[in-house]
Amino acid sequence: MTKTITTEISDAMYKALESAALDPAEWAKSAIELRCREAYNEIYSTTVDRYLEEGITVPGSKDEIVLDAFDRGWTKTVAQRNAEFDDELDAKG
């Protein structure tokens, strides 16, 4: 499965980005892909380490490993972490 991310910016913002990038759309795509790869590789690495520490069989693909980290709760989305933080604040009253 794939996801599509879109955004809207003003003509002035687009023109400004053209002063910094030859192809603003390609620049934005590359920036998103780079951030995704960094997060993906970090999750992969820490999850494999945890599998090895806990004697768990490592799944066969990087995608399976990354998704399993979320399934096991070892890695959480920002929304999940924020909700947990809000719950902790509420509990403290």
Digit-coded pLDDT (tens) for 43-77: 999 999 999 999 999 999 999 999 999 999 999 99
Location of structure tokens 């999940």: 80
Identify the pLDDT of residue 23.
97
Q: What is the pTM of this model?
A: 0.85
Across the chain, what does the average pLDDT equal? 96
Using a 10 angstrom Cβ sphere, with 0-12 exposed, 13-18 middle and 19 or more buried, the burial of residue 31 is: exposed
Using a 10 angstrom Cβ sphere, with 0-12 exposed, 13-18 middle and 19 or more buried, the burial of residue 22 is: exposed
Mean pLDDT of 25-53: 97
